[in-house]
Structure 1
Amino acid sequence: MPRIALIHATRVAIDPIEEAARKLWPDAEMISILEEGLSVDRPKSKDLSAGLHHRIVGLTRYAESTDADGILFTCSAFGNAIQDAARSSPVPVMKPNEAMFDAALELGERIAMIYTFPPAAAGMEEEFREAAHEKGRTADLRSYFCDGALDALRAGNNAEHNRLVALTAQGIEDVDAIMLAQFSMAEAADEVRRHIDIPILTSPEAAITEIRRRVETSERNKTC
């Protein structure tokens, strides 16, 4: 049974990714590692600090020590640090939105992104542009902040969170797809789809599908 370490900066990201894992990879063993201080400290500076970078690498090393076969981060605000940690890891390490970006680029070049955690936006926009460049695509990304949604979710008011995300989505036009940036936004997808016909993409299902592919490929290569 493969073991996948899920590293979270906020507890509201845990249920969406674990639900996706149960649905798409029930044979895998998922272990959750929560470090809420990351989401508390990240908004304190515009750029990712050296201290936070060090903590992301340290969490990766810790996850490796649990005999994880793959590591998936679920917070979108630490992309560069995750990428650095992945370079020296013996197992696949994924940023949260890699797979969703690829799926969006397959749908077209006019993409919208709704986000609820402001420190994540700039890094995700940069990662999206890099993904488009690697695929040879000229993509236009428009970002929309959904104010108040994350506060509602943290307060346990999921319905209000979903309503606010859907309301933001209804104001978006002339795009080929809408991405819901944070893992914690995944449960709003059905509410959004009830109001608009534009394809809605979420991170958890795309991420589980891709980390499974990478881990299984890595295991096959070890036996060759």
Structure 2
Amino acid sequence: MATLGLVHNSPVLAPIFNEIAARVIPDVRILHFVDESTIKNTIAAGHLQKATMRQVIRLVGSTFDAGCDIALVTCSSIGRAVDMAAELYDQPVLRVDRPMAEKAVATGRRIGVIATLPTTLQPTADLIWRVAAEEGKDVEIVEHVCDGAFAAVMAGDGATHDRIVGEALTGAMAGMDVIVLAQASMARVVAALPPGAVAAPVLASPELGIERVRDILQARPR
């Protein structure tokens, strides 16, 4: 049985990924590795620091020390460190947002990127630019930060978070060919909106990230 190591910056992500993994890769063992310092220190600094990069690389190494066959890092804010880790280990090291960026570039030219934190928005937009350049695609990216939403959810006010994000999806993101959610936690807002409220397809990273794990594992020699 293959083992997947999931590296999170918050324990609240574990059940989200457990549910998806149970559907998409039910025969894969899941181990969770949680370190809140990676996102909290990045938010405090306003950017990804070298110390945090080293910590992410150590966390990825911990998954392989624990016997994992593949590592998936579920935070977009630390994506640069994940790319570095991928260069250092022989086993696959995946960014959860890479499949989402690829699908966005394949779906349309005018791409909306929405986040509740600037530290998550920029790495996601940068990744989409990079994927578009690799594939020779001309895209336009419209970025939007949902001011106040992150503070609300951190204070336990999920309803205010969902209202702010929902208003952005139906307002600031109008006219997009495709909308990318920079944070996995925002997906529930889309599901709660009335049918047709958002005209463009909305992409979230968890499902696409787990599907990429499935594809890699299926392609391995038996």
> Same fold by TM (over 0.5)?
yes
Residue in 1 that maps onto 2:204: 202
Q: Secondary structure at the match of 1:143?
A: strand
Matches within 5 A, 1:88-103: 88-103=88-103
Identity of aligned residues (%): 27
Distance 1:155 1:28 in 2: 35
**Structure of higher RCO (CA pairs closer than 8 Å, 6+ residues apart):** 1
RMSD of aligned Cα (Å)? 1.7
AA at the equivalent of 2:218: E
- Does 1:163 find its partner at 2:174? no
Matches within 5 A, 1:49-198: 49-171=49-171, 172-192=173-193, 194=195, 195-198=197-200
How far residue 160 of structure 1 moved from its aligned partner, in angstroms, is 3.4
Closer, same or farther in 2 for the Cα pair 1:17/1:153, shift >3 Å? Answer: farther
Distance 1:125 1:208 in 2: 21
Deviations 1:175-220 (A, max 9, x none): 1011111122222221246322211111111000011212332x32
Does the 8 Å contact 1:12/1:153 carry over to 2? Answer: no
How far residue 152 of structure 1 moved from its aligned partner, in angstroms, is 3.3
Does the 8 Å contact 1:16/1:186 carry over to 2? Answer: no
AA at the equivalent of 1:112: G
Q: Secondary structure at the match of 1:77?
A: helix
| Structure 1 residue ranges without an equivalent (≥5) | none
Deviations 1:96-126 (A, max 9, x none): 2001111111211100011012212222221
Residue in 1 that maps onto 2:14: 14
Superposition misfits of 4+ residues, deviation over 4 angstroms? none
Closer, same or farther in 2 for the Cα pair 1:14/1:116, shift >3 Å? Answer: farther
How far residue 167 of structure 1 moved from its aligned partner, in angstroms, is 0.9
Residue in 2 that maps onto 1:215: 217
Closer, same or farther in 2 for the Cα pair 1:193/1:108, shift >3 Å? Answer: farther
How far residue 75 of structure 1 moved from its aligned partner, in angstroms, is 0.8
| Structure 2 residue ranges without an equivalent (≥5) | none
AA at the equivalent of 1:162: D
Deviations 1:50-77 (A, max 9, x none): 1111101100111110111111111111
> Normalization by structure 1: what TM-score?
0.91
Deviations 1:72-99 (A, max 9, x none): 1111111111101011212111112001
Residue in 2 that maps onto 1:23: 23
Distance 1:21 1:148 in 2: 31
Closer, same or farther in 2 for the Cα pair 1:192/1:90, shift >3 Å? Answer: farther
AA at the equivalent of 2:208: A
